[in-house]
A and B are shown apart, each in its own frame.
Chain A
Amino acid sequence: MTDQTKVVMRLEGAADLHRIGVYEAHGGYAALRKAILEMKPGEVIAEVKASGLRGKGGAGFPAGLKWSFVPQDHPGPKYLACNADEGEPGTFKDRWIVERNPHAMIEGCIICAYAVGLSHIYVYCRGEFYEGKRKLEQAAREAYEKGYLGENILGSGFSTHLTVHTGAGSYECGEETALLTSLEGGRGHPKIKPPFPASQGAWRKPTVINNVETLATVPDIIGHGSAWHAGMGTEKSKGVKMVSISGHVERPGIYEVQFGVPVSGVISDLAGGMWKGHKLKGFFPGGSSTPILGADKVGIPYDYESIAEAGSMLGSGAVIVFDETTDVVRMAEIITRFYAWESCGKCTPCREGTRWMLQIYERILNGGGRLEDLDLLLSICDHLVFKSFCPFGDAAVGVVSSTINLYRDEYEAYIREHKVYRRRFTPVKH
């Protein structure tokens, strides 16, 4: 039986948790007091390092290590960019945090700012999160009023500020360097690395960029200690993860589990099993950008290493489940259309490759596909992977190559029989 281990979602049931009084009544901001009043900045970083906390936005990079890359002796301002630009299809955990538990994230932000010596926190919030932005702005005002933000926080001499910044509808801006370009007032184009944001980030100043869920986990790590956190999960994937599960399951939703629980347990014990009693055909383990795994892989443990070994990625922790009735060619077309639309256009392989792939999918679904199209698609995949400017190109090909490898016969059936997909609506051309 797979159970949840709630950390960020521990207070899920508390009414009005987004209000600072409620959050404090449940122990909120005690970790901030402990960090600022009892610990040195270096001790906070050491604690987060020892906890094994890894970035929960997609890359899984060790958070404490990232913090330690920021030069301590750098003169002038340094920044924290909190990535609340949640847009990976299938992912909906950060929306819950910013709308329902924003103070956990803000407290984590302030602890990070204290540990690394950051003078301003920018929360880059997805433009479509109207409710989320209102909640974040209210939460920030409350934190200022209580003296957790602003000058001389809790009388410690440490000062930092927080600004909620809005995006305006661009998936690419979730990529860390594109987020910075957008924050600076530009088109959401990624920047070359190195220099890495830790040395030259926003406005060319040292910048830490962390995901909402990562930062929201920090207060509990400081509160309970690194050993508590490191004691959960697996040897290399320590701690917990909010899993967004959607698609063909009975109870789609967010479930917070320790790394290492079996995917099958998340699907059957937590999400109530397959929708309408259908059979599992396959699943995306970490969002639309991660290669699909077939039903035979459903027993694998949900941790970074096991999923990588199975040929995919844990990504943002979004499990999208589909049953035997699913038309995988149409599914791949939907996701390819998404990447073609969202490609920022900066580099040629991604800008051109995603559009060509979409054209080929439209041709196949309209009954005009050619058998050589499958090899053509795979060859375009090869031209995107590791050849695009940022990880977007890799993200765009996961569904294409994995569906051709796993379900080639379904593609061939479309092509050989000149089968035409009956659309319920016509997507807008772009």
Chain B
Amino acid sequence: MTERVHLHPELHKWVKARLDRYPTRRSLLVPTLLEASKYQDYVSPGVMYAIAELLEVPASEVMSVAGFYTLVPKHPVGKHLIQVCHNISCHLREGDEIIAHLEDQLGIKVGETTEDGRFSLLTVECLAACGSAPVMMVDEELYENVTPELISRVLGEIN
């Protein structure tokens, strides 16, 4: 059995405020999964069951949809998420060196979380900022023309 999770009241409010924008409740599923990750560490099966109830969608469908979208965290991640682009335009501008440098600085490999739980490092597909490659995103902030110096500064400023 999955434990019962109570969704954050703010999330309830958020959904309620948007329901009349759509012809079906289900239409809010993807945005709600994304919004839910702001209030919970990650979107656990319990959270998915609660969202299923709220939006009147079968729980199996919620899990299937959550599984499809990479921005919906399905497992615990670090306090700060570093997403660095590994796609073609960043690669051409020496992005691989930047990824290697991040691994060195954080002492972890791509796909891992630091022992203190502060940082998770992921590679991502094109972030649509190829004119200022290489690029990375820390939480919701985009960093362009990334250099080793910029990485040291950004990691130092984040607590």
| Chain A contacts to B: CB under 8 angstroms | 77, 86-92, 94-95, 120, 126-131, 161, 163, 165-171, 182-188, 203, 244-248, 252-254, 288, 318, 320, 322, 326, 330-331, 334-335, 338, 341-342, 344, 423-428
Whether A168 and B69, one on each chain, are in contact in the complex, defined by CB atoms closer than 8 angstroms, is yes
Shortest CB–CB separation between residue A158 and chain B, in angstroms?
Answer: 19
What 4 A-B pairs have minimum CB-CB distances, sorted nearest first?
A169-B71, A246-B130, A185-B29, A168-B69
Given A186-B29, A338-B87, 19 more A-B residue pairs with CB atoms under 8 Å apart are A91-B130, A94-B128, A126-B128, A128-B127, A128-B128, A128-B137, A184-B26, A188-B69, A203-B24, A203-B27, A246-B89, A246-B133, A248-B92, A252-B132, A318-B130, A335-B87, A342-B125, A425-B99, A428-B123
Sampled A-B contacts (13; CB under 8 Å): A89-B89, A92-B131, A126-B128, A163-B18, A163-B22, A168-B31, A186-B61, A252-B133, A253-B131, A320-B88, A326-B92, A338-B125, A426-B110
Residues of A within 8 A of B111 (CB): 428
Whether B125 and A424, one on each chain, are in contact in the complex, defined by CB atoms closer than 8 angstroms, is no
Residues of A within 8 A of B96 (CB): 423-425
Whether A89 and B23, one on each chain, are in contact in the complex, defined by CB atoms closer than 8 angstroms, is no
**How many A-B pairs fall under 8 Å by CB?**
164
| Chain B contacts to A: CB under 8 angstroms | 18, 21-24, 26-31, 33-34, 55, 57, 61, 64-65, 68-72, 86-89, 91-93, 96-97, 99-100, 103, 109-111, 122-133, 137, 140, 142
Query: In the complex the two chains form, what is the Cα distance from A320 to B71 in whole Å?
Result: 26
Whether B88 and A288, one on each chain, are in contact in the complex, defined by CB atoms closer than 8 angstroms, is yes
Contact A425:B24 (CB < 8 A) given known A95-B129, A169-B71, A247-B89: no
Contact A92:B130 (CB < 8 A) given known A168-B33, A182-B30, A331-B88: yes
Q: Which residue of A is nearest B141, CB measured? A: A130
Residues of A within 8 A of B100 (CB): 424-425
Query: In the complex the two chains form, what is the Cα distance from A171 to B126 in whole Å?
Result: 9
Query: In the complex the two chains form, what is the Cα distance from A244 to B123 in whole Å?
Result: 22
Residues of B within 8 A of A161 (CB): 21
Whether B87 and A185, one on each chain, are in contact in the complex, defined by CB atoms closer than 8 angstroms, is no
Residues of A within 8 A of B131 (CB): 92, 244-246, 252-254
Which of A185, A331, A341, A423 has a CB less than 8 Å from the CB of B24? A185
* Residue among B18, B22, B26, B29 with the highest chain A CB neighbour number at 10 A: B22
Shortest CB–CB separation between residue B110 and chain A, in angstroms?
Answer: 6
Q: Which residue of B is nearest A271, CB measured? A: B131
Residues of A within 8 A of B123 (CB): 425, 427-428
Contact A334:B109 (CB < 8 A) given known A94-B128, A170-B69, A184-B27: no
Shortest CB–CB separation between residue B64 and chain A, in angstroms?
Answer: 6
Q: Which residue of B is nearest A425, CB measured? A: B99
Query: In the complex the two chains form, what is the Cα distance from A280 to B82 in whole Å?
Result: 33
Whether B88 and A166, one on each chain, are in contact in the complex, defined by CB atoms closer than 8 angstroms, is no
Residues of A within 8 A of B70 (CB): 168-170
Shortest CB–CB separation between residue A169 and chain B, in angstroms?
Answer: 4
Shortest CB–CB separation between residue A150 and chain B, in angstroms?
Answer: 13
Residues of B within 8 A of A169 (CB): 69-72
Residues of A within 8 A of B126 (CB): 87-91, 288, 338
Residues of B within 8 A of A90 (CB): 88-89, 126, 130
Whether A187 and B65, one on each chain, are in contact in the complex, defined by CB atoms closer than 8 angstroms, is yes
Residues of A within 8 A of B97 (CB): 424
Residues of B within 8 A of A320 (CB): 88-89, 92, 130
Whether A428 and B92, one on each chain, are in contact in the complex, defined by CB atoms closer than 8 angstroms, is no
Contact A335:B30 (CB < 8 A) given known A187-B65, A425-B109: no
Query: In the complex the two chains form, what is the Cα distance from A61 to B31 in whole Å?
Result: 30
Query: In the complex the two chains form, what is the Cα distance from A168 to B42 in whole Å?
Result: 14
Whether A185 and B68, one on each chain, are in contact in the complex, defined by CB atoms closer than 8 angstroms, is no
Whether B110 and A427, one on each chain, are in contact in the complex, defined by CB atoms closer than 8 angstroms, is yes
Shortest CB–CB separation between residue B130 and chain A, in angstroms?
Answer: 4
Q: Which residue of B is nearest A326, CB measured? A: B92
Query: In the complex the two chains form, what is the Cα distance from A89 to B126 in whole Å?
Result: 5
Whether A87 and B128, one on each chain, are in contact in the complex, defined by CB atoms closer than 8 angstroms, is yes
Residues of B within 8 A of A87 (CB): 125-126, 128
Shortest CB–CB separation between residue B47 and chain A, in angstroms?
Answer: 14
Query: In the complex the two chains form, what is the Cα distance from A423 to B22 in whole Å?
Result: 47
